[in-house]
Amino acid sequence: MDRVHVHLPDEILSEILTPALRVSEDAFSSTDASGMSFSESSSAYLLVCKDWLRVSTPLLYGVVVLRSKAQAQALATALQSNPDLGRFIKKLRLESGYGRFMQHILQATPNIAELFLTFSLLSTDSVSGLTKGLPLINPRRLFLHKASQETSAPGRTLVTHLAKCIPTWSNLTTVEASTERWGYSSSNALTMELAIALGLSESLTTFILRGRNNVPRSIPNYMIAISNSPSLKTIQFQPPLQPVQPSAFMLDVSPSASSNLAADSESTFVYPSRLSTDSDLEDQIWGRVLSFVLSVPSAQYRETVSFRHIAPLLVCKMFYRLSLPYLYASPILLTHNSQQNFLETLSGPRGLFLGSCVRTLKLLSLESEESLDILRQTQNVQSLFCHAALPVPVTALTQVAQAVGGSLRVLRGLVLAKSNGRIEPPQLGLFAQLVSLEWNCKAQFKSSHKHVPASALGNLTTLCIQEYDPTFLTLLSDLDLPSLQRVDFPPSASTRGASEFFAKHGDKLTQAMLGPVQLADAQLRVLSLCPALTQLRVVYNKKVCVLLGALLVLTVF
C-alpha cells in the first residue's frame, strides 16, 4: 500500500518536537555534577525528514550545553560550515575552557542571552579562546559556578578577563552565583575581582545567591561590593534565609537587598498621597516608626536581635536609609573577629556615616589597636563598656579621651594596669561631657597640678571606684568637680586620702557607699563632711553589697 505523506504545519511540528529537544531551565542552570549521559543524541530527530530538520534545527541549537572538548570542536566546525546556525543559539553552558574553539563559537553566536560559566577548571584546561571571545557577546543573564577565591590558574585567568567584560555588557541584568560549598557568609564564596566588576555594572538589576540557607553573621565584602551597582534593585537568596539570630551590630546589607519573601495575603493598605509628595515629612514619620522597631536595648543587656527585628531594612531603600542610625547605635564587639569586621565596615565607603551613628559601644577590652581604631572612627560615642577585666596601660585612658572625650558620657569596665612608681595622671581634662565614671586602677600618680586642670571632669555626677591608690583621691581633691553627687567605694577602701576627698567634695554628695573601715573611722566624720547626704550604704563584700544596699540604708533628713 502506498504511503500517504501528511504535511503538518511548522507550528504544530514545533509544538510536538519542543518537549523532546528542550533543555529545561533547571537543567541549564543546575550546579550538580552533570556526569555522563548514555541516551541517544537528540540530534537524531533532525534525520527523520527535511521538515523535521527545518523545524528542529532552531530548537536543537537554542540551548547548547558543552561538556567536552570534542563537543566544542564539533560545534565550532558546524558553525564555520554553516554560520546561520549561530544566530539560533540563545543559551550557552560551558563546563570547561575548551581552548581555541571557544573563540570561533563566540564569534558566530552574537545572540547569546544567557551564559553559564564554571571556574572549577583543571590546571591543564585552556581558556585562551574563551577569554578572546567574551568581549564579542553581550548576554542578558550570567551564571557563575564556583567562582570562589580558591581556583586554579586557568580559573583565575578567566576571572580576570570576565571582570573586564562585565562593566561593558549593557544587556546584563541578572547574575546568579552558586556558593554551595562556602555558604553566603564566607569571604571565599565569590572572588572580589568579580564582585567589584558587578558593582561597576550600570545595567545589573538582580543578583541571586544560591547556597546554604543560613543567615550570615556578617555581610561579606563581596556582597557589599556588588551592592555598589547603581542599577541594582534586588538581592535574592536561594533558598531563602532562615530566621536565626544574626548579630545586629555586624549587619551591613545592600540598600537594595531583598529577602524575597512573599506576603501571606494581599495588603489593602493605601499609601497616603501626602507622604508621596513630601519626602521630608515621609522621612520624619517613618523614621519615628522605625525608631521604635529598631531601637536596640543597652549594650549591657542584649547582644543579639532576631531576624524579624532587622527585617525592616530589607523592605526598601528608604527603610534601609532611615534604619541604619538605629541599627548601628549600639554595636557589641566581644570577639576579635567582630571587631575586625566592624573596623572593615568603618573603613568602607559608608564608614564615616556609620561611625557617626554609634552611641553605645561595648568592647571586649582596649588592649588591641583595633579597638582604639574603632574609637577613633566613632567620635559620637556616649557610652563605652569594656567587658573583659584585662588590664591595659594607663595611657589607654588618655587615648580614649583623645578619641571620644568630647562626646563620652559613661565609661565603665576599663581596667588600668598598676604602675612601677608614680606616673603622670591621664588627661582627664579631655572628658568634657563625662557624667559617670567607673575607676579600676591601682597606679600611683604624681601631683595633678601640672597635668590635670582643676576644671577637669566638670560634668561628672557619679564616681564608682573598684580598685584605687590613695594618690587617685588626692588627684580628685585637687579638682573642682562641681557636679559630683554620688561616690561608691569598694569594700576594701581605707581612710588614706578619703579625708581630703570628703573635705573637698563632701558638701556636694547626696549618695555614698563606704567600706566598713571608712565608716568605723571616727576621724573621717563622713556625716559631718557630707551634710547633703540622703543615702549612705555600707558594703562588706561583693556578695552582700546588693543586700545591704537594699536593706541597710541610713536616711538623713
CA gap 543, 520 in Å, rounded: 20
Q: What is the 3-state secondary structure (H, E, C) of 525-557?
A: CHHHHCCCCCEEEECCCCCCHHHHHHHCCECCC
Pair 359, 383: CB distance under 8 Å: yes
CA nearest neighbour of 62 among 25, 37, 9: 25
Containing 373, the helix (H) or strand (E) segment is helix 369-376
Would residue 436 be called left, alpha or beta, if left means φ above 0 and alpha means ψ between -120 and 50 degrees?
Answer: beta
DSSP 458: T
Look up residue 92 and give its three cell numbers.
Answer: 550557552
CA nearest neighbour of 462 among 402, 412, 502: 412
CA gap 263, 259 in Å, rounded: 11
> DSSP string spanning 76-95?
HHHHHH-GGGGGG--EEEES
pLDDT for 271: 62
DSSP 314: G
pLDDT for 249: 36
CA nearest neighbour of 327 among 302, 285, 358: 358
For the chain, how many residues are written? 557
Domains in the chain: ranges and CATH? 62-261 (3.80.10), 325-551 (3.80.10)
Mode of pairing for the β-strands spanning 206-210 and 174-178: parallel
Looking from the CA of 420 toward its CB, the CA atoms found within 13 Å total: 0
C-beta contacts of 20-26 below 8 A and 24+ residues apart: 20/45, 21/45, 21/56, 21/59, 21/60, 22/59, 22/63, 23/63, 23/65, 23/91
Helix (H, G, I), strand (E, B) or coil at 392: strand
CA nearest neighbour of 296 among 354, 248, 334: 248
Amino acid letter for position 22: R
What's the distance, CA 209 to chain centroid? 16
Helices (H) then strands (E): counts for the chain: 22, 18
Q: What strands lie across the sheet with 91-94, from one edge to the other?
A: 63-66, 91-94, 114-118, 141-145, 174-178, 206-210, 234-238
CA gap 209, 257 in Å, rounded: 12
Containing 326, the helix (H) or strand (E) segment is helix 317-327
pLDDT for 17: 66
Supply angle C-alpha 386, 390, 394, rounded to 5: 85
For cell 588600668, what's the residue? Answer: 416
Instruction: Flag whether the pTM goes above 0.75.
Output: no
Give strand pairing partners of 229.
none
pLDDT tens for the chain, 557 residues long, are 445 455 766 667 766 666 666 676 777 777 765 544 545 566 666 666 766 667 666 666 778 888 888 889 988 998 888 888 888 888 899 988 888 899 999 998 989 999 999 888 888 888 999 999 999 999 999 999 887 766 788 888 999 999 999 999 999 999 998 875 555 555 567 888 999 999 999 999 999 888 765 555 566 778 888 888 989 988 887 776 654 444 443 344 444 444 443 444 455 555 666 666 777 888 888 888 888 777 654 433 444 555 666 777 788 888 888 888 888 888 888 888 888 888 888 888 888 988 998 999 999 888 888 889 999 999 899 999 998 777 899 999 999 999 999 999 999 999 999 888 888 888 898 999 999 999 999 999 987 666 788 899 999 999 999 999 999 999 999 999 999 999 999 988 888 888 899 999 999 999 999 888 887 887 888 888 888 888 888 887 654 443 333 334 443 32
